Amino acid sequence: MEVWYGAEQVPASLGAPGDAGTVVTIGIFDGVHRGHQAILTRVVERARQMARPDGERPLAVAITFDPHPVLVHRPEARLPMIASLADRLAALSATGLDAVLVVHYTLEFADQSPEEFVRTWLEGLLGARMVVVGDDVRFGRGNSGDAALLEAICRADGLGVEILDDVRSPSGRRWSSTWVRELLEAGDMGGAAEVLGRAHRLRGTVVHGQRRGRELGFPTANLDAASAGVVPPDGVYAGWLVRSPGTIALAGLRAGAPHEERLPAAISIGTNPTFDDVPQRTVEAHVLGRADLDLYGEVVAIELVRLLRPMLAFDSLEPLLVQMRQDVLDTAHVLAVPIPGPIRPEDVTAG
């Protein structure tokens, strides 16, 4: 999948005479949940159905926005993204899209009329032959464009248009980013994974922490929770630490691809109440059985599979160590991986 960061990276040949053009959808796609996936899959299907006798077909393209429009219109809002841009692109790639255009969202961009947006970006820039969107689509100045207006513009300009009804879960609730956020805030990682179609990921740079874990035989990779994304409640989770080259991820590496190294991990989220020297929330991942990982400065993803227990304060070191060992055993059980032996502090070689 190609990624175009701005209009200047879009091939000039799109929409030229004789070009097959594109089938386009638009959206923020925060989380790329099952509802998004249904729309994106339909875009890919329509592009394939529109293949010409010479074998050429339109490109299946999605337009997405960064930063989130809410953060531009209301800078005071606190709205961490469900998925980082890298993980959003990876999930978009997994749907079979040919390309994604990442538009830098600004107040100037937002001031376009709905007609200007369609004719400048979809028709003029991308050479759209068809537009596929959900029935809740909004676009243009003040979100004044809706599905009915989009259909009218496309019909007037000779573009195909397909408006998809809400895609709903078996329970009847509409798949949505709001639902994902509710589940994450409740610590329901299984429920969030059901809506997303995959485990929830946090992403960030590994930073130096208190170095206490290595001294106890539980070395951890530490991420700043404030910049990691939507972080669920404090507690200990079973999950995975995922390593992948950042440049490949930004180019749309599919989740679970061979380039990714997935390591089973017990993950602690919180301020560690047993000690009083951790002023802010952190995300700490202990990779099971590994004492040699040196991840400082590396961008990693943390996948959260299940909440094991709430964060607890212990009166002394001994019960804490017993509980941390139990966390390792519980993590291995949840992830169905071999149980590692204990790590001696003197065996930790990570920097």
- In 3D space, the residue among 30, 203, 201, 6 whose CA is nearest the CA of residue 100 turns out to be 6
The fold of the 204-347 domain, in CATH, is Elongation Factor Tu (Ef-tu); domain 3 (2.40.30)
Residue 71: per-residue pLDDT: 93
Distance in angstroms (rounded) separating the CA atoms of residues 346 and 351:
13
Answer whether 33's CB lies under 8 Å from 196's CB: yes
Distance in angstroms (rounded) separating the CA atoms of residues 294 and 220:
10
Give the tens place of pLDDT for each residue, 240-298: 999 986 533 444 444 444 478 999 999 999 887 655 655 678 899 999 999 888 888 89
Residues in Cβ contact with 304 at an 8 Å cutoff, skipping those fewer than 6 apart: 189, 199, 200, 201, 202, 232, 237, 239, 267
Distances (CA, A) of 105 to 66, 140, 191, 205: 6, 12, 31, 25
Residue 66: per-residue pLDDT: 95
Answer whether 110's CB lies under 8 Å from 72's CB: yes
Catalytic residue, chosen from 45, 284, 298, 346, is 284
Residue 16 tokens, joined: 């030229």
Task: Determine how β-strand 200-205 pairs with β-strand 299-309.
Answer: antiparallel
Distance in angstroms (rounded) separating the CA atoms of residues 348 and 286:
12
The answer to whether 182 is a known catalytic residue is: no
Q: Under CATH, domain 2-164 is a member of which superfamily?
A: HUPs (3.40.50.620)
Residue 291: per-residue pLDDT: 87
Give the chain's residues under pLDDT 70: 210-214, 225-228, 245-258, 273-279, 350-351
Residue 306: per-residue pLDDT: 98
Residue 253: per-residue pLDDT: 41
Residue 276: per-residue pLDDT: 60
Where along the chain do its domains lie? 2-164, 204-347
Residue 211: per-residue pLDDT: 64
Distance in angstroms (rounded) separating the CA atoms of residues 26 and 39:
10
Residue 351: per-residue pLDDT: 55
Residue 250: per-residue pLDDT: 44
Distance in angstroms (rounded) separating the CA atoms of residues 153 and 242:
44
Give the tens place of pLDDT for each residue, 170-195: 899 999 999 999 999 999 999 999 99
End-to-end CA distance of the chain: 36
